[in-house]
Amino acid sequence: MSENNDFQQDNITTGTETPSSPPVKSAAREVGEWVLSIVIALVIALVLRNYVISFVRVDGSSMVPTLQNNERLFIVRLGYKPKSGDIIILDPGPGADGKKRGPYVKRVIGLPGETVEINNETGEVTVDSKPFVVDGINNETRSAQDTYVVPENSVFVMGDNRNNSHDSRASDVSFVPYNRVMGKVVFRVWPLNKLRKF
């Protein structure tokens, strides 16, 4: 009997004990954690923007009717290799005056090793003797007749508004090396009523 009472007494609590409270963080430590979180988020955002994805604004009319001035585009950078017909964002390099220019948006016409020909009489653009036709645009161009052989690791680009586009036909743009291709346009995200996947 006494053994049973001893056992019961060992399991009785008085209710006067207080649970241990969690350790209190110092204000400095909490601020430090917030700052670290913000820095990590900024680094991730910069890496994504510079190497993975980005948003750009169309500036000008060289891609009309496919793209209009001030439209916003979503581009993919990481692991992209240009393909014929892709719409790309490129760094045109410095202008004739040596000043840095903003990004251009153009369509890939010719790939390495291909021959792009422009017939001034017919306005036809051919790649390796086959017409290069884009649905929904005026495919004729009245630029000077010429033949371009695309070098390795470069592309030949033109705007869809072929008679009003500063592109690979101009000596200060010429062939675009792969390392100046900033990414492929995959979506038009603005205006909302013109959302489109490319």
Residues carrying an active site annotation? 62, 106
Q: How many CB atoms lie within 10 A of CB 171?
A: 7
Backbone angles phi, psi at 102, to 5 degrees: -70, 170
Report the residue count for the chain.
198
What's the CA gap between 129 and 13, in Å, rounded? 94
Name residues whose C-beta falls within 8 Å of residue 156's C-beta, 6 or more positions apart in sequence.
108, 109, 110, 111, 114, 116, 148, 150, 168, 175, 176
**Would you list the DSSP string of 90-158?**
E-----TTS-----EEEEEEE-TT-EEEE-TTT--EEETTEE---TTS-----SPPEEEEPPTTEEEEE
Single-letter amino acid, residue 133: V
In whole angstroms, give the CA distance from residue 27 to residue 144: 70
